[in-house]
Amino acid sequence: MNLTEQRTYWQQRLSGGLAVLEIPIDYPRLSVSSVKVATEVTKLDREFYQDLKTLSDRFKVSPFTVLLAALKIMWLRYTGIADIIIGSVATSVKETRGLKTSQEGEHKGGVRINPIALRTDLSSDESSDISGKEVLKRVSQTVEEAALYRDYPFEELLKGINSNQELAEELAKAPIFQVMLVWCDQPFPLSQTGISEAELKEISAYTSQCDLVVVAKETEGKLRLSWEYNTELFKSDSIRRMLGHWLSLLEGMIANPEQSISTLPLLTEAERQQLLVEWNDTSADYPQDKCIHQLFEEQAERTPDAVAVVFEQEQLSYRELNQRANQLAHYLQELGVGPEVLVGICVERSSFRAASRTHLMLVGLLAILKAGGAYVPLDPAYPQERLAYMLEDAQAPVLLTHSSLVTNQESLVADKEKLTEQLTIVCLDTDWEIISQQSQGDTDSGVKPENLAYTIYTSGSTGKPKGVQIPHQSVVNFLRSMAQRPGLRSRDTLVAVTTISFDIAGLELYLPLSVGAKIVLVSREVASSGQLLGKLIKDCDATVMQATPATWYLLLASGWEGIPGLKILCGGEALPSELADQLLERKASLWNMYGPTEATIWSTVHEVAKARQSQPGLDAPESIGQPIANTQIYILDAHLMPVPVGVAGELHIGGAGLARGYRNRPDLTKEKFITNPFDQSKSERLYKTGDLARYLPD
């Protein structure tokens, strides 16, 4: 076969774009990096190696092909990329007339040593996955074709690629292949003579560009496998895990080559136990027979005279707050509010001094819960269309607000003809004289922990908000977990800056009230000013504040210097390391929080330390930490199989915090809340967050 034909083959084989194999690394890949090589070695015992050869004989492929197939499956499972190029080395005694070759590519005996790219597409159709048997077939075809065209010099191939601007740009980002697999000392499909380890070193100019070079060598009836890796990219533990995954896949293919590659065992048994069981061992006691308001009522009995909430110059004790919430709760019950009845609440944080009453928002929320109902927070700042949709979808028979919003903001009840006939509007300022005639004693609503506590509407991908339905028991578990870690005590003062339309406000309001701490409510004006907020934090001797990174940036931009005793809780967005560094200089402790509304506020917490280890990527966000009490975290691939440490997958959440689902959206609920595949009873669920995450080694 002449060189023109070979050139044409390789040009076609490498056309259509080169997929970069995003191998999970431990250290940032710097633009200029040194290459420090270490080697991890293992041996397949005689029995394992014999089983591998039996498999290769059965499907009439070489042991090299079996190793290559398993390696390609591993990278597919790691990266989700089906178009995989792995390098190898070919030898030939044939002459390559008309081409000058470097000394590195020429062996003393006239044998040419030539790097070669083995590209295989492991794609499957949407209806079914491919089997290990099919992969062996495709990889065998790849190897056989490459063997026919192995004489074309690799350096000439690179020259051809560099002359193609599109391919040259791709090659500039990464080599044609980042991983090589070589079979030493014995003939194999790519080598007529077998390659010695000494000969392999002769192509170091190529192998040094690779992240990994895997060398297989038969010795005394066993198969020696060595992984040469760059210590500037990988830790030895990571390489050992990869080697273990490769062997697990080989064992799976030997045991059942008909099995789909998505379900072939990747993790070792020890890893599976660690990821699925040990790291999810979060069982903890919490009052499963209690509702949110009952935690507050019990605290009000213990510390009735302690200050519960402060807004500007006004404050309420636990006794006063409980009494006023009870009066409104009795009034709501007379309007038909009870278990599973939704009540809209659209108020600002402000007080109404004209009626000598304060803290409309907190009184309203507690009253709805005490009446047995579930609240639907409506932000007065929301657009008219959004408020109208939420009111219509919720079909709440009662709306709590105040008179200024009813008279000045038509968006509160946008479609009056449609809603007012079935909607009772309670103005907490002008109607309070009537409300105050009600009993100050606790209510008996018959509400149970499994009943709804609130429905919060979050933004939907289609533009329409989704009503996330959260029961009491989910919030109670969350509160008890947060009280322990990050921790809140009765002596604490928490600054509450978040609007109740975001579920994280639940921590700021209910956590302090469940432990006897003090809440300092912040107006919208103060919360949006770094100068004013910084002054308030100092003046009230705050010990805890929760906010999104945007608010912390706002404070820092105003010149805020922090206070030594402040516990900082940060969540709602990824916490950048550079923000963490600035906050660590201004606090007592810094906690990174993560969680979707569908799993009740926060699902994981992480205390950020000063002496933390940098993560891959120069701008990597901080770790989201470990699951809270009675919560399970799974990182899974597209086939709901757990991914190894360091490999990206979709984060799934299970446990006590899961929402009931989406209001009036059964199809979406079924799509996002799935049966937990790791629960033998099949009664537990997982929430598919859609967020990509990866396990860290610790």
* 183 & 252 share domain: yes
Strand intervals (E) in 14-64: 37-44
* Secondary structure (3-state) at 416: helix
Sign of CA dihedral 623, 628, 630, 631: negative
Question: For residue 103, what pLDDT is reported?
Answer: 41
Does residue 66 form part of some domain? yes
CB 318 within 8 A of CB 516: yes
Distance separating alpha carbons of residues 77 and 72, to the nearest angstrom: 9
* Secondary structure (3-state) at 318: helix
Contacts of 681 (CB under 8 A, 6+ apart): none
Does residue 362 form part of some domain? no
Question: For residue 192, what pLDDT is reported?
Answer: 61
Residue 610: pLDDT over 90 = no
Tokens of 56: 């290769």
* 170 & 275 share domain: no
Between residues 284 and 170, the one the model is more confident about: 284
* 200 & 117 share domain: yes
How many CB atoms neighbour CB 286 within 10 A? Answer: 18
Tokens of 180: 């090589």
Residues 303-356 pLDDT 10s: 999 999 999 889 999 999 999 999 999 999 999 999 999 999 998 765 544 333
Q: What DSSP character marks residue 552?
A: H
* 231 & 275 share domain: no
CB 123 within 8 A of CB 83: yes
Q: What DSSP character marks residue 414?
A: S
Pairing of strands 342-345, 374-377: parallel
* 132 & 276 share domain: no
Domain boundary among 238, 266, 294: 266
* 30 & 129 share domain: yes
* 229 & 276 share domain: no
* 24 & 160 share domain: yes
**Residue 684 domain boundaries:** 271-280+630-698
Does residue 604 form part of some domain? no
Question: The CATH number of the domain where 671 resides is what?
Answer: 2.30.38.10
* Secondary structure (3-state) at 467: strand
Does residue 538 form part of some domain? no
Ramachandran category for residue 220: left, alpha or beta (phi over 0 → left; psi -120 to 50 → alpha): left
* 195 & 226 share domain: yes
Residues 309-321 pLDDT 10s: 999 889 999 999 9
Does residue 426 form part of some domain? no
Tokens of 397: 């028979």
Residue 61: pLDDT over 60 = yes
Total domain count, the chain: 2
* 35 & 138 share domain: yes
**Least confidently predicted of 205-219, 334-348, 507-521:** 205-219
Long-range contacts at 485-491 (CB < 8 A, ≥ 24 apart): 485/605, 485/628, 486/567, 486/569, 486/589, 486/591, 486/605, 486/607, 487/567, 488/512, 488/515, 488/517, 488/544, 489/515, 489/517, 490/303, 490/306, 490/515, 490/516, 490/517, 491/517, 491/543
Does residue 547 form part of some domain? no
Question: For residue 22, what pLDDT is reported?
Answer: 82
Residues 539-593 pLDDT 10s: 999 999 999 999 999 999 999 999 989 999 999 999 999 999 999 988 889 999 9
* 59 & 138 share domain: yes
Question: For residue 169, what pLDDT is reported?
Answer: 55
% of the chain surpassing 70 pLDDT: 85
- Average pLDDT of the residues in 286-306: 98
Token look-up 């050139």 returns: 7
Contacts of 514 (CB under 8 A, 6+ apart): 292, 295, 296, 299, 479, 483
Does residue 416 form part of some domain? no
Does residue 465 form part of some domain? no
Domain boundary among 214, 237, 266: 266
Q: If residue 689 lies in a helix (H) or strand (E), which one and from where to where?
A: strand 685-693
Distance separating alpha carbons of residues 439 and 436, to the nearest angstrom: 8
Question: For residue 328, what pLDDT is reported?
Answer: 98
* 165 & 88 share domain: yes
Question: The CATH number of the domain where 138 resides is what?
Answer: 3.30.559.30
Encode burial over 299-328: b for 16+ CB neighbours within 10 A, e otherwise: bbeebeeebbbbbbeebbbbbbbbbbbbbb
Residues 632-683 pLDDT 10s: 999 999 999 999 999 999 999 999 999 999 999 999 999 999 999 999 888 8
